[in-house]
């Protein structure tokens, strides 16, 4: 069963709910993880809160289970830049760029404490409206240890996946959200 079919089933069985959103985020993250050969915890899914002023992680679990949110317009957050421009970003030298490093040290993940070396990020859009950001990273002590660079083909794969799956995932977001 592909990711779209899984999400359709979750919408049908659980609808807009915390449990539905968690299941949907897991299905999307696992699909991305398998396709891009990253650990599931290297996939981050962030959703705009109901006020659209903040972003909240809905995946990975170590980041989604708390009440942590950050401003959608944070000047150093990759996700904020992606939202502001509505354009994807491939950065294979992220460890050299300004970004929110706090989330790299969150405990409870196999890669906790390792720096993000490489990232591909893109807006999650329904119609003309952004609902969040998808970030896929490769972590490691060095860029070489983190794995291969992300390519424009990786970004195009994610664009297609998001075009198909994000409108379904958005149906799982309970209102109000956070």
Residue 83 CA to residue 75 CA, distance in Å, equals 11
Is pLDDT at 101 greater than 70 in this prediction?
A: no
Give per-residue pLDDT as tens, 12-24. Answer: 999 999 999 999 9
Residue spans of the domains in the chain: they are 3-170
pLDDT score for 88:
95
Whether the predicted pLDDT of 107 surpasses 60? no
Residue 165 in contact with residue 125, Cβ under 8 Å? no
- Percent of the chain having pLDDT more than 90? 79
Residues 6+ apart with CB under 8 A from 41: 60, 62, 109, 110, 111
What percent of the chain stands above pLDDT 70?
Answer: 91
Residue 117, C-beta contacts closer than 8 angstroms, at least 6 positions apart: 92, 93, 94, 95, 137, 138, 139, 140, 142, 143, 145, 146
Mean pLDDT of 35-64: 94
- Give pLDDT, residue 108: 54
The pTM of the full predicted model, rounded to 2 decimals, is 0.93
CATH superfamily of 3-170: GAF domain (3.30.450.40)
Q: Which residue has the tokens 């904020």?
A: 80
User: How distant, in Å, are the alpha carbons of 64, 91, 112 from that of 108?
Assistant: 12, 25, 7
């Amino acid at each position: 069963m592909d990711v779209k079919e899984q999400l359709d089933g979750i919408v049908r069985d659980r609808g807009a709910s915390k449990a539905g959103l968690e299941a949907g985020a897991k299905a999307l993250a696992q699909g991305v993880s398998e396709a891009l050969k990253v650990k599931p915890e290297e996939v981050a899914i962030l959703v705009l809160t109901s006020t659209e002023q903040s972003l909240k992680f809905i995946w990975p679990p170590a980041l989604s289970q708390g009440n942590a949110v950050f401003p959608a317009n944070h000047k150093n957050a990759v996700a904020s830049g992606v939202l502001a421009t509505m354009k994807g970003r491939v950065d294979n030298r992220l460890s050299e760029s300004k970004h929110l490093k706090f989330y790299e040290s969150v405990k409870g993940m196999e890669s906790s404490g390792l720096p993000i070396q490489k990232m591909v990020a893109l807006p999650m859009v329904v119609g003309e409206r952004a609902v969040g950001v998808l970030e896929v990273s490769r972590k490691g002590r060095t860029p070489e240890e983190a794995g291969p660079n992300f390519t424009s083909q990786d970004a195009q794969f994610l664009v297609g996946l998001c075009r198909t799956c994000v409108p379904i995932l958005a149906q799982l977001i309970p209102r109000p959200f956070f």
